[in-house]
Structure 1
Amino acid sequence: MIPFNKPYMTGDELYYIKDAVTRGKISGNGYYTRKCHNFFKENIGFRNCLLTSSCTDALEMAAILVDIKPGDEVIIPSYTFVSTANAFALRGAKIIFADSRSDEPNIDATLLEGLISSKTKAIVVVHYAGVSCDMDTVMHIANEHNLFVVEDAAQAIDSYYKDKPLGTIGHLAAFSFHETKNIISGEGGMLVINDKRFDKRAEIIWEKGTNRSAFFRGEVDKYSWVDVGSSFLPSDVTAAFLYAQLENLKKIQSRRTTLWYTYYEGLKMLESQGLLRLPKIPAYATCNGHLFYIVCEHIEERSQLINYLKDNGVYAVFHYVSLHKSPFYKTVKDSIKLKNCEMFSERLVRLPLYYELHMEDQNKIINLITSFFDKK
C-alpha cells in the first residue's frame, strides 16, 4: 500500500535530541528553541515568533492576544480544521462562517464585507494547501473596520503572497509542524507576532501567564503570575527535532514541489477533458508542495475513486467536513448553506505526497487515476 503520508527524517534529529539532553535542559525555551526562533527570523523574515506545542496552541494564544470575549464575532472559513474555530469558540466567540471561493477552497474575500457586524472582532484566514488567500483584499477590509487578522498558516510554511512570506501579513499567524506537514516535529507549532503591541503579552501567555522569561533575562527580580496563560511552549527535545528539519528546508521544499508539479503535469489532460479539476494557484500566490488534490464531479464519483485507488494499493483521502455542517455547530446555530464549502467537502480527494514518494509509485497513482476516468 502506498501510504497517504510518511514522516521524513533528515538524519540529524536524534543527534540533536541527544545533544539537547546532554545540555541538561530539555524543558521549554532552551537552546534549540532559541535556534529555531533565530532561524525563522533570519531565513524567512518573521519579526517575532514563539514555538508552541501545536498550531492549535498558537491559535489559542492568538485568540487571547486579540482579547476575544463572549459575544464577540469572529469570521472564519467553514472549510478548515476544527482548531481554527475552536481556539476562538473557547474564548466565547460567536463563529461566523464564510464560504470558499468557487475555484479553490480558500475563503472568498469578496464576501467578508457582508459578514461584518458591530460585534466583529477578527477575521481568521486559512491558507489552504499552502496557497495564499487574497490578502490585499482581506487586509483592506480589516483595516477599514478596525479588525484583527489572524493567519492560520498551518499548511503554509515557505509559501508567499506576492513577495511576502505567509504568516507575515496579518497581526498574528499560526503554523503547524505536525507529522503531516512539510517541516515536522511530530506535534508542534508556532505563533508569529507581526504587531509589536503583542510582544510582551505573548511571551507572558506563552509562559503560563508569568513573567518568567523576563526574570531569566534579569529584567525583574522575581517572577509571578501576571496574566492568563497556559503551558504553550514545547519541550526543547521537540525543538531539537524541528531544527534538524529546518536545516533541510530548501531540500525538502524542492522535492515536495517537484512531486506537486509532476502530479499536475500528469493529470492536466484529464482536466482539459473536463473529467476532473486540479488545484488553482492564483497569480498572487506560490505553491509550497504541501498537498495535491483533485476535485471530482460528485460525491459518488469521489467515493468510487478512493475505493478504486485503495483496491489497487494506494491510500488517498478526502479532507474537511465543512464546520458549518458539523454536529457541534448545529447545536448552537440553525443550519446555513455555503455551497462552495459543501462542494469541496463532497468532491475533493487528496493524493499521497511525501518526501520519500518514489517516482514509480507516483506514476502508478497518475496511471490509476487516468485509467479510472478513462473507464468512465
Structure 2
Amino acid sequence: MIHFNKPYLTGKETQYITDAVVSGKISGNGKYTQLCQYFFEQKYSFGKCLLTTSCTDALEMAAILINIKPEDEVIMPSYTFVSTANAFVLRGAKIVFADSNSENPNIDSNLLESLITLKTKVIVPVHYAGIACDMDSIMEIAKKYNLFVVEDAAQAIDSFYTGKDGIKRALGSIGHLSAFSFHETKNIISGEGGMLVINDKQFASRAEIIWEKGTNRSAFFRGEVDKYGWIDIGSSFLPSEVIAAFLWAQIEYLDKIQKRRKQIWSQYNEGLKKNEKDGDFKLPQLPDYATNNAHMFYLIFESLEKRNECIARLKNKEIYPVFHYLSLHKSPFYSNQYSGEDLIFSDLYSDTLLRLPFYYELSDDDIKLIIHTIKNE
C-alpha cells in the first residue's frame, strides 16, 4: 500500500523533546523556539520570525496586525485552503476572490487591479506547491494602491523568487508579512505548527505582544520593562517547546530532506513527460522566476472524468493519490456572498488537479509503480 503522505522522522525528535522537558521550560519561547526562529531569520533573510501553533494562527496574527475591520476587502485566490480566508473573515473582512492563472494554480496577478476598490486593504498571494507567484507585479500594485501584502507561504519553505532586478529572494521574505506551515504534510514538520514572518518593522513589537496573548511578557523576561500586563488584543499563538524541539530536529536535516524530495519530483517529471506530450495530462509548470522546493507533484487532467479514471486505476493497486482544494467562492459557507465573475481556472483545478504520493521515504520502486499505473502499462 502506498499512502499519499508519510511523516519523515530524522531520529532526533524525541531526543530534543526529552531535552526540552528535562530543562523545565516547555511552555514556549525557550531554547528551541529561539533556535528555530534565529535559523529562519539568518538562512532566508526573513524579518522577525515567530513560531506559531499553525499556519492558520500565523495568518490570524497577520489579520490582527494589519487591523482588519468589518467591510475591509481582502483579495486572494479562490483556489486555496480555507484558513487563508478564515483568518480575515474572523475580523469581519469581505473576501474578494481572484482566479488562478492558466499555467498553475497561483493567483493571476493580471486580474488584481480590476478587483481593487477603495475598501481594499490586503492582497494575499498563495504560493501553491511552493511555486512563486509573480511577486514583482503584486508588490508594485500594492505600492501603487497603498495595500499590504501577506504571503501565504504555507507550502513554500526553501523556495525562491528571482525579481526583475535579478535578485533571488526566499518566498516569505517579500511581502509585509508571511505565514508558513509545518503541518505533517509539509517538507519539514512539527505535526502541527507554523510561523509568522514580519518583514515590515512597523509590526515587529506589536506582533510579539499579540503572540503573547496581548501582553508584553517577552519584553519583561528580556528585562526591557519592570512588569508586564495586558496592553493589546492577542491570543495563545506561540507553540510549546515540545513542538519547537521537534521542528529543530527537522531543520537540522533540511538539506537532506530537500535533496531527496527533489529527486522524487524529478523522477515523476521524467517518467511522465511523454504522456504530457501525448496529451494525457499536464505536468507542473514553473515560471522562469520560480524555483522548485519539491513540496508536491501534481497532474492536471483534461476533465473530472479522466482524473477519476486515474484515481480508480491507482487505488486498484492500493496507491492513494489525493485531489486538492474546492473553489472557496463556491463553498457552502461563502457561495451566497460571492457576486463576482466565474473563476474558470480555479474551478478547472478543483476538478482536474491530482496530487501524487510524495514523501521522503517513497522508494524508487514505489515511484516506478505509480508511474506505470498512471500510464496504464
Provide TM-score, normalisation by structure 1: 0.98
Q: 1:241 aligns with which of 246, 254, 259?
A: 246
2:265 maps to 260
1:211 maps to 216
The answer on whether the counterparts of 1:209 and 1:227 sit within 8 Å (CA) in structure 2 is yes
Q: 1:348-374: per-residue Cα shift (whole Å, max 9, x none)?
A: 0000010000000000000111117xx
The answer on whether the counterparts of 2:44 and 2:173 sit within 8 Å (CA) in structure 1 is no
CA distance in 1, matches of 2:314, 2:340: 34
1:193 maps to 198
SS at match of 1:346: helix
1:160 maps to 160
2:35 maps to 35
Q: What number of residue pairs does the alignment pair up? A: 372
Q: 2:330 aligns with which of 309, 325, 328?
A: 325
State the shift of 1:301 in Å.
1.1
The residue type equivalent to 1:58 in the other structure is A
Quick check: 1:251 aligned with 2:256?
yes
CA distance in 1, matches of 2:348, 2:218: 47
2:346 maps to 341
Paired residues for 1:6-155 under 5 Å: 6-155=6-155
State the shift of 1:335 in Å.
6.8
SS at match of 1:83: helix
SS at match of 1:328: coil
Runs of 4+ in structure 1 deviating by more than 2 angstroms, as ranges, are: 331-336
CA distance in 1, matches of 2:138, 2:127: 12
CA distance in 2, matches of 1:97, 1:33: 35
CA distance in 2, matches of 1:348, 1:332: 26
1:298 maps to 303
CA distance in 2, matches of 1:185, 1:335: 38
CA distance in 2, matches of 1:335, 1:362: 41
The residue type equivalent to 1:12 in the other structure is K
SS at match of 2:124: strand
State the shift of 1:99 in Å.
0.2
CA distance in 2, matches of 1:336, 1:190: 34
SS at match of 1:175: strand
State the shift of 1:330 in Å.
1.6
State the shift of 1:202 in Å.
0.2
State the shift of 1:28 in Å.
1.2
1:314 maps to 319
The residue type equivalent to 1:105 in the other structure is P
CA distance in 2, matches of 1:295, 1:108: 18
The residue type equivalent to 2:278 in the other structure is Q
SS at match of 1:96: strand
Q: 1:99-152: per-residue Cα shift (whole Å, max 9, x none)?
A: 000111000000000000000000000000000000000000000000000000
CA distance in 1, matches of 2:107, 2:216: 37
CA distance in 2, matches of 1:43, 1:341: 34
Structure 1 alignment gaps of length 5 or more: none
The residue type equivalent to 2:33 in the other structure is T
The answer on whether the counterparts of 2:154 and 2:180 sit within 8 Å (CA) in structure 1 is yes
State the shift of 1:213 in Å.
0.5
SS at match of 1:349: strand
CA distance in 1, matches of 2:193, 2:58: 9
The answer on whether the counterparts of 2:106 and 2:126 sit within 8 Å (CA) in structure 1 is yes
SS at match of 2:26: coil
Cα RMSD after superposing both structures:
0.8
CA distance in 2, matches of 1:333, 1:172: 26
The answer on whether the counterparts of 2:72 and 2:121 sit within 8 Å (CA) in structure 1 is yes
The answer on whether the counterparts of 2:157 and 2:187 sit within 8 Å (CA) in structure 1 is yes
The residue type equivalent to 1:309 in the other structure is L
2:165 maps to none
The answer on whether the counterparts of 1:28 and 1:235 sit within 8 Å (CA) in structure 2 is yes
CA distance in 2, matches of 1:90, 1:47: 26
CA distance in 1, matches of 2:341, 2:121: 21
SS at match of 1:192: strand
CA distance in 1, matches of 2:336, 2:142: 29
CA distance in 1, matches of 2:26, 2:107: 40
The residue type equivalent to 1:38 in the other structure is Y
1:179 maps to 184
The answer on whether the counterparts of 1:295 and 1:344 sit within 8 Å (CA) in structure 2 is yes
CA distance in 2, matches of 1:330, 1:309: 33
State the shift of 1:44 in Å.
2.0
CA distance in 1, matches of 2:71, 2:331: 21
Quick check: 1:169 aligned with 2:186?
no
